[in-house]
Amino acid sequence: MSFTIQNLHISIEDKEIVRGIDISVDKGQVVTIMGPNGSGKSTLANAVAGHPSYTITSGDVLLNNESILNAPPDERAKKGLFLSMQYPPEIPGVSVANFLRIAASAVRGERINPLAFHAELKEEMQKLSIPETFMTRSLNAGFSGGEKKRFEMLQMAVLRPAYAVLDETDSGLDVDALRIVADGINRFREQETGMLLITHYNRILEYVVPDVVHIMVGGSIVKTGGKELAKDVEEKGYGLFI
């Protein structure tokens, strides 16, 4: 059981951004990609999730040995893949509770009783220190950076993906919010969710110990190691790998 990226090449408007990436994430693993701005990390995340603006020119993406390249984004989600976006969109007029119930119903392939779902949602929100009033707020509208990231953890709790790609999920978080998000990641790991964690900085890795760290520069993986590699980046910067 794994989520595998094989020799992936990705272009935007005929410009190659990602050049031959190989990554494997097993169930319950946290695999981290670190790299400077412009290295292709978010391009990789979006393309893997099926964003139409990105063209995969060669390579493959496998979920449990099955290629998902020809599957639309919603089918990829139903197969167990989740993307936490760096900049999630705001959707005024759509409440958090309704969005999550409809999304969960689509992913699980069953009609969900609203009362039962309300109880489930309330329980998961308590685990993430999210107030109950959050349910009635419009999706991401007026959310702080920390609220957006906690909401993505809430989505994961409700949608129960087998694998998650977390793009800059620590971006813009204060210390308290960072701990809550990290606790969520560690909880999903214990539940055997495999996670590809994309970040600039080592600070979230003080709370989430990665199994593997990849350094991505110029669209390619230039170094692979363990958690000590993240500390090298913090101490010496990405210039060490350029």
Show the domain range for 9: 2-89+162-241
**Residue with the larger pLDDT of the pair 219 and 241:** 219
- Residue where the block lists tokens 């978010």: 42
24, 81, 128, 196, 220 from 16: Cα distances, Å = 22, 24, 39, 22, 11
Nearest C-alpha neighbor of 102 from the set 112, 88, 115: 112
pLDDT class of 202 with cuts at 50, 70, 90: confident
| Pairing label, strands 212-217, 220-225 | antiparallel
The answer to the question of residue 147 being in a domain is no
Neighbours of 200 (CB within 10 A): 17
pLDDT at site 41: 94
pLDDT at 242 over 80: no
Q: What are the pLDDT digits (tens) for 38-85? A: 899 999 999 999 999 999 999 999 999 999 999 999 999 999 999 998
**Total number of domains in the chain:** 1
The answer to the question of residue 6 being in a domain is yes
The answer to the question of residue 133 being in a domain is no
pLDDT at site 168: 86
Q: What number of helices (H) and strands (E) belong to the chain?
A: 7, 12
pLDDT class of 24 with cuts at 50, 70, 90: very high
The answer to the question of residue 15 being in a domain is yes
The answer to the question of residue 121 being in a domain is no
The answer to the question of residue 135 being in a domain is no
The CATH number of the domain where 169 resides is what?
A: 3.40.50.300
pLDDT at site 14: 87
Residue 71 to residue 49: CA distance in whole angstroms: 10
The answer to the question of residue 148 being in a domain is no
Lowest mean pLDDT among 7-16, 72-81, 233-242: 233-242
Q: What are the pLDDT digits (tens) for 74-107? A: 999 999 999 998 788 889 999 999 999 999 999 9
Residue 25 to residue 2: CA distance in whole angstroms: 6
**Residue with the larger pLDDT of the pair 1 and 83:** 83
Q: What are the pLDDT digits (tens) for 150-184? A: 899 999 999 999 999 999 888 778 888 888 889 99
Mean of pLDDT over the chain: 92
Q: pTM for the whole thing?
A: 0.92
The answer to the question of residue 145 being in a domain is no
pLDDT at 200 over 90: no
**Residue with the larger pLDDT of the pair 237 and 11:** 11
